[in-house]
Amino acid sequence: MMNRPKQRMSLRSLLTSLAALGLLSTQLFSSAQAGQGQGGAAPPAAVAPKAAPPPAAAAKPAQPPRAAAPAPTAGAKTGTAAAPAPAVGGKPGAAAAAPAKPGADGEFPGLATDGMMASEKDGLRRLLQKFQSPCGKPHSLLTSLRTDPGCPLSLVAGRWMAKLFSDGFLESEVEERYSKRFVSSKCVQIDISGASTLGDPSAPIALIEFSDFECPHCRMAEPIVKQVLKEFKNVKWVFMNFPLQMHANAPTLAAAALAAGKQGKFWPYHDRLFENQGTVRQADLILYAQELGLDVLRFQADLEASRSRVARERSIGDKLDLGGTPTFFVNCRKVEGPLSLDNLRSYIEAEAAK
């Protein structure tokens, strides 16, 4: 019984000492004093109320839904974030339409513009608006494409222009080339009477080629022209000899082909000369004639006689200021641009559309 009062005094003295040293707050010290008068179990309870605030603080993190709500509002103001689309509910298509505007919705009817850059489409639009309808109508080429199905030439002209942009030509270059072909191009009369012809003689479109049997580019053109004949039954191929001065043997080769033509074998002989280009010797000319079943003596006589015909065809080309071989004309229009199947197609389609 004597030990209990001593415990109380000892605890009280300890608390007093701690308070004096500043290690225990005055409030805790007062609570401890009150607890001592109630039997000593109260001190823990006096500390517990101070721990109650944490639940109140924990309740605050439960409010993030309010912080997330402003996001659509901020997105709607900027107009650049992807978030506004769901907020609008079905209007995301309006944002996607902006980049697809050039060339979409029939802006360039019938023209292939999918692979073109925006700057190329802008240039195409400007030139289509600048140039007049190729059918002579009082409106632009662009208007013709959109509203004038009675002018098929406008589609040919527009496609050719778009192809130049797609091939990497600058707007100024496209303008110059288009003007040269569709605006200032002249129709020149070419005397093709007596020339070697392949295809239907009555075909309305003549693909006239001035060529040289020793010219590498002329050899490269052969499969292109033959493909044209397969695709267009309204086209005939007219071969005109234009031996270049740098090719010493070219006039003789041309005369040999014409001599074979006297016996109905111009085109097979023509093929032999191109197939063996660069290796043909004088003796080979007789050999090819034999292989094709020609009368060799007649062939030799016709070869010499055909030299004047070669010179005549060359003089026709000189008047046209060709500048080199191969040079093509579609009827009376000189073919400008690269030696390609697409380019020849375009000129033939244009002639057929007139």
3 state SS of 333: strand
Backbone angles phi, psi at 237, to 5 degrees: -100, 120
Is pLDDT above 60 for 26?
Answer: no
From the CB of residue 137, how many other CB atoms can be counted at a distance below 10 Å? 16
From the CB of residue 80, how many other CB atoms can be counted at a distance below 10 Å? 9
Q: How far apart are CA 110 and CA 40, in angstroms?
A: 98
3 state SS of 138: coil
From the CB of residue 207, how many other CB atoms can be counted at a distance below 10 Å? 25
- Which sequence spans correspond to the domains of the chain? 118-183, 196-337
Share of the chain above pLDDT 70, in %: 70
Q: Which residues contact 155 (CB under 8 A, 6 or more apart)?
A: 110, 145, 353
Q: CATH for 196-337?
A: 3.40.30.10
DSSP result, 274-326: HHTTTT--HHHHHHHHHHTT--HHHHHHHHHHTHHHHHHHHHHHHHTT--SSS
**Mean pLDDT of the 234-259 span:** 97
Q: What is the pLDDT of residues 190-210, one digit of tens each?
A: 999 999 999 999 999 999 999
DSSP result, 233-277: TTEEEEEEE---TT-TTHHHHHHHHHHHHTTT-HHHHHHHHHHTT
Q: What is the pLDDT of residues 119-150, one digit of tens each?
A: 999 999 999 999 999 999 999 999 999 999 99
CB 348 within 8 A of CB 228: yes
Q: What is the pLDDT of residues 55-91, one digit of tens each?
A: 444 444 444 434 333 333 333 333 333 333 333 333 3
